[in-house]
Amino acid sequence: MCEKIQKVNSWLGAVFGDQPVPHFEVNTRTVDVLYQLARSSEARCGEAALLTEDLKQKASEYQSEGAHYRDVLLQGLGLSCASLSKPADDYLSALVDTAMVLGVRDTSLGSFMPAMNHLTNSLLEEEKSNRRLERELVALRNRLGATMVLRSSLQEDINKTVTSQSVESAKAEERMLNMDFVTAKAKELSSRRERAEAQLVSRNMDKSLTHQAIVQLSEEVAVLKQEIIPLKKKLEPYMDLSPVCFRYLLLKKVPRPTVH
């Protein structure tokens, strides 16, 4: 733990330099986090240092190689930067810029051709990818259009459903109000009937005139009507006879005529 704290303090001091290190709570979690950050920072700094050294070495090699080519041109061909014409200097600069863009080591044809081929292949791949993306974009636009149409249709159906539900809710509420009114009215009428019956009973009214007696009498009348129906069918052959003949037949107990 002490070793980690010393490592963290050393790293924070290097990071903030002359500025004071901010105060932080010293606990196991905080120290572990800062310790990991310190190790990661030192690793990245080491990698950056190695990369810097490598770049410096390559720059030194390029400078030496450039000086060698300059000596070759000057001693072998008698050419120098000062002796080149402006078009030649422009061509040379364009050649160097092209080599830097392509990332080649030198400006020889053997270096340019593979780089150009690679760049051409990359361009063809990008164009192919662009065409594929355009097709996918067209398909997505078509699907988006269909989705928007479906969404509009669904929204219209939802609006219709909401309107219908509102109407049905109003009707249901009206039916409930009517039902409550009918129930209250029935209770009122029942109460009035009971009060009237009580008044009639208090006045020594015949029980046969009460509501219950009338209902029972009505039921008995309905039963008698059903029993009379067969008797009416039996008397149908005698319906055309005069009352005198009908009475005579009944007294003599003459058999009824058969209807053919």
pLDDT, average across residues 231-242:
70
The first and second tokens of residue 137, run together, are 């974009």
Rounded percentage of the chain residues whose pLDDT exceeds 90: 16
Band (260; pLDDT cuts 50, 70, 90) = very low
| Per-residue pLDDT, 252 | 59
pLDDT digits (tens, 9 = 90+) for 121-144: 989 999 999 999 999 999 999 999
The first and second tokens of residue 136, run together, are 């996918």
Residue with tokens 């010293």: 26
**Alpha carbon 54 to its chain's center:** 54
28 secondary structure, DSSP code: H
pLDDT, average across residues 226-249:
71
| Per-residue pLDDT, 16 | 75
Q: Who wins on pLDDT, 192 or 254? A: 192
pLDDT, average across residues 71-85:
63
The first and second tokens of residue 166, run together, are 């509102």
Band (62; pLDDT cuts 50, 70, 90) = confident
Neighbours of 8 (CB within 10 A): 22
| Per-residue pLDDT, 205 | 62
Residue 234 pLDDT exceeds 70: yes
What percent helix, strand, coil does the chain show, rounded to 5? 85, 0, 15
Q: Who wins on pLDDT, 103 or 69? A: 103
The first and second tokens of residue 210, run together, are 């009460």
Residue 166 pLDDT exceeds 80: yes
pLDDT, average across residues 102-129:
83
Neighbours of 258 (CB within 10 A): 6
Residue 241 pLDDT exceeds 80: no
8 Å CB contact between 30 and 56: no
| Per-residue pLDDT, 161 | 92
